[in-house]
Amino acid sequence: MKSKIRIAIISSIISVSTASLQAQIKFGAQAHGALNKSSFVIEGESPDKEWKLGYGIGAFAEIPIMNSLSLRPSLNYLQKGGKMNHDFSVEGIPGKQKAEIKLEYLEMPILLIYNIGKESSKYYVGAGPSFGYGISGKAETNLIVEGSSETVYYKPFTDIEDGGLGFKKFDFSLNAVIGMRVLERGMIQLGYLHGLSNIENTDEYKDNKFKNRSVMVTLGYCFY
C-alpha cells in the first residue's frame, strides 16, 4: 500500500513538473535581414570584398534552464555569400575577376541565452554553435581580359566535374547575439555569424578559402 502511494506521489510530481516546463517553453517565428561579407582567399591572395544583402526566415523555441538562462534552438532558411574583386595576371596579361555568390542554407543555431537581470528581463545576450547545410545557390563570375568580358554562371554546391564550384555543403559557425524584447511577445536582435568551415577546401583549389561571415538583424514574435 505504501509503495503504491509513493509511486502515485512520484507520478504526480513528474506530471506537474512536465506540465510546468511545457507551459514555460515559448515557440515563435523570426525573420532575418543579413549583410554578408565572406572571407575569400584566391591562390593565396585576399581579394577586395563587398557586402551582399540576404534574408532568412525561421522558427525557434525558447526553453528555460534556470534563473536567467534559457536555451534557444531554431531552424532557418538563410542566405549567405558575398562579392569580391580580384586582379590577376596570366602569362603577363593582366585581368580582372568580379564574382557575386549567393548561398542558401538550412541553418540551425543553438544559443545559450542570458537574460540580463532576470528571466523576464527586457534585454539579453546569447552565443552558441550554428550548423548549416547548403541546399542551393548561384555564383556569377565576370572575367575581363584585354577589354574583353565574359560572364559565367555556376552552381556552388555542384561538383566541379559537373560544372559547379564544388563547395562543401556542411558549414559550422559560431553565433553571437544581443537583443531586447518589445511589446511582451516581440523581439529585436542583432547577431553575428562567424563561419569556421572552409567550404572551398577542395583538391582542385587547395590554396583557395571561402568562409561565411554575416551580420544579421532579426525580428521575432513568440506564440505563448
> How confident is the model over 8-58, as pLDDT tens digits?
444 544 443 444 444 489 999 999 999 999 988 877 778 888 999 999 999
Q: What is the 3-state secondary structure (H, E, C) of 42-86?
A: ECCECCEEECEEEEEEEEEEEEEEECCEEEEEEEEEEEEEEEEEE
Average pLDDT of the chain? 86
- Cα separation, 163 vs 95, in Å, equals 22
Residue 144, pLDDT score: 84
Reported as a pLDDT band with limits 50, 70 and 90, residue 73 is: very high
Q: Is 23 or 188 the better-scoring residue by pLDDT?
A: 188
Question: How confident is the model at residue 136, as a pLDDT?
Answer: 96
Q: How buried is 176 (Cβ within 10 angstroms: 0-12 exposed, 13-18 middle, 19+ buried)?
A: middle
**Considering the chain, what percentage of its residues have pLDDT values greater than 90?**
55
Domain range for 75 is 2-223
pLDDT for 81-116, tens place per residue? Answer: 999 987 777 777 788 888 899 999 999 999 999 988
Best mean pLDDT range from 74-78, 157-161, 181-185: 74-78
Do 151 and 142 meet the contact criterion of CB atoms below 8 Å apart? yes
Percent of the chain with pLDDT over 70: 85
**How many domains does the chain contain in total?**
1
Tell how strand 186-195 and strand 213-223 pair up.
antiparallel
4 class by beta-carbon count within 10 Å (0-12 exposed, 13-18 middle, 19+ buried): exposed
The span from the CA of 86 to the CA of 9, in Å, is 71
* Arithmetic mean of pLDDT, 135-160: 89
pLDDT given at position 47: 82
pLDDT over 70 (residue 5) = no
Whichever domain contains 74, its CATH number is: 2.40.160.20
